[in-house]
Amino acid sequence: LPKKGRQTLLFSATLSRPIEKLTKEFQFKPRKVEIGRRSNPADTVEQIIHEVPKPKKIHLLKHLLQNNDLYSV
């Protein structure tokens, strides 16, 4: 979708500064809401971005949640 007709939302409890910087490349006039103190994610937290077409988002989420090899999603 063109930027004018698109809304991008990002929710994260563990958004590192490098990932936050990367997300700004894909956002137009972003707004940020922080609750509590900012802290860096634990070294054991791996952050992954999946670009998925809208019709396949639910399928990917179900797949990730049902994957027994993942500790958390």
Q: How confident is the model over 6-41, as pLDDT tens digits?
A: 777 777 777 778 888 888 887 778 888 878 776 666
In a domain, 73, yes or no: no
Percentage of the residues of the chain whose pLDDT score is greater than 90:
5
Other CB atoms within 10 A of residue 20 CB: 13
What percentage of the chain has pLDDT greater than the value 70?
86
**Number of folded domains that form the chain:** 1
For all residues of the chain together, what is the average pLDDT?
Answer: 79
Residue 48 in tokens? 């992954």
Answering whether pTM is above 0.75, one says: no
Residue 58, domain member (yes or no): yes
Q: Judge whether 71 lies within some domain.
A: no
The range of the structural domain enclosing residue 56 comes to 3-66
What CA–CA distance (Å, rounded) separates 4 from 36?
32
